[in-house]
Structure 1
């Protein structure tokens, strides 16, 4: 399907999966309550978990946000298009289901050319959580979307693998002090200098729900200890896969040699899906330094491990 046809589908209330630089999104017309409710139904997403609305430019934020404070504007001018989501005061006409029942709205401008083409052609704000069943690893290819959602999505635009691979950083930018609600591709420690006030850490309403977990167990090993941890698990009779810069011990499937945080960010969700496709019981992933995007990677890994397989 081409962009024009996909845009028409969105305007008519259909669901279109499309690539962003972070992960693939499951898009619906953000002001069409019926379409947005279908997103929640298809994903199995908890109703109190608000959606991120995507627009084509900062000038279009006014379609869903009542105001853009000065600090928020500085962040948008610095990072948009890009993997930063701003939480702003919502316009009252935005359906409550899109807002998760809150008086705020999360909005961003994605940095993928196909996503921007779609948003410009649709000419409507598009609510788009990750295009997967809730709780699953996020999709970073069109094939992941089709594997999870099948015919429940009306169209899938294939833009190739996502460049960043982990979700956007979410910042509550309504006040004078930016509050980081979710670690993501933009490092939190960069934000304060741009916004004019040091960022604080908070918690997104979605963080209490299950996320990122494949159907196998995830174990996070300290750097350099993946081989030892995976060998011990294999010795207990488990089928084990390993993501580690080094090799794998006998009896352990070596999925990938990954050492750099940005590389693991790009490949993390695909590797978790590859582990379950290999029918292992456990996937062991070695930790990366918690610097830059490494903070987001380790956040996702810990939450996948806590969720169980």
Structure 2
């Protein structure tokens, strides 16, 4: 049986956060607010929990979930390297609606799905999410909806779709903009095949515009006339 906590109510927020932490520790799923859309979250280091997340959404392992972090230190622990251009993106847009794909730290023991050795990472700009992440560590998080349906922008919408597959719902009102994060692939900045130019590719346009990215990346941003195909994205949505 799912439990819903209204985090706008001071009398419920502490209990909600405690139950959410406990659910994550048990390998269960929670729904939490972010600055983009509501997310369904699981312990990123529990393969069974991640599989439970994919099953709840009706999604296969070919669309692994992104990972939310509480700050740059967590990012550094998850990825092989943080190139200077990626650091510039982090400084400009985190916390916020930008998900960055990089080669994952090879020493990590986890299974997010068919990631091809990468991980998609974002730091959300929402107090409840950041406080929870600071206590749980990185969480695998995808948009809180069934595959093929609109992402939830309030917890009740997520509950209508996901029901008792989620143990705890943290309600905090409507998302600030309801627009999913922009996803960029920066893997070529770490490992570029001979003869190729390292470029950052936009896998999905969302909360952060191409123009904003171009201001930070300059010529490192892949030209618009060479758009990435949506099916090439190595991650699911958030």
Which bin holds the TM-score, normalised by the shorter protein? Answer: 0.7 to 0.9
Aligned partner of 1:112 among 126, 137, 141: 126
Length, aligned pairs only: 209
Which deviations, in whole Å up to 9, do the C-alpha atoms of 1:48-100 show, x marking residues without a partner? 0121100000111133212111111110111000000000111232534x152
Aligned partner of 2:90 among 53, 72, 76: 76
Give the whole-Å Cα distance in 1 for the aligned partners of 2:121 and 2:109.
Answer: 12
Q: TM-score normalized by structure 2?
A: 0.82
Q: Shift of residue 164 of structure 1?
A: 1.5
Q: Which residue of 2 aligns with 1:45?
A: 59
Aligned partner of 2:210 among 188, 194, 219: 188
Listed as ranges, the matches of 1:153-164 within 5 Å are 153-164=166-177
Q: Shift of residue 17 of structure 1?
A: 0.5
Q: TM-score normalized by structure 1?
A: 0.63
Q: Which residue of 2 aligns with 1:95?
A: 110
Q: Shift of residue 203 of structure 1?
A: 3.1
What SS is found at the alignment partner of 2:133?
helix
Unaligned runs of 5+ in 2: 6-15, 190-197
Aligned partner of 1:170 among 170, 176, 183: 183
Larger Rg: 1
Q: Are residue 150 (structure 1) and residue 163 (structure 2) matched?
A: yes
C-alpha RMSD over aligned residues = 2.2
Q: Shift of residue 196 of structure 1?
A: 4.2
Q: Which residue of 1 aligns with 2:25?
A: 11
Q: Shift of residue 150 of structure 1?
A: 0.8
Q: Which residue of 2 aligns with 1:299?
A: none
Q: Which residue of 1 aligns with 2:201?
A: 179
Q: Which residue of 2 aligns with 1:85?
A: 99
Give the whole-Å Cα distance in 1 for the aligned partners of 2:164 and 2:62.
Answer: 25
Distance 1:53 1:205, change over 3 A: farther
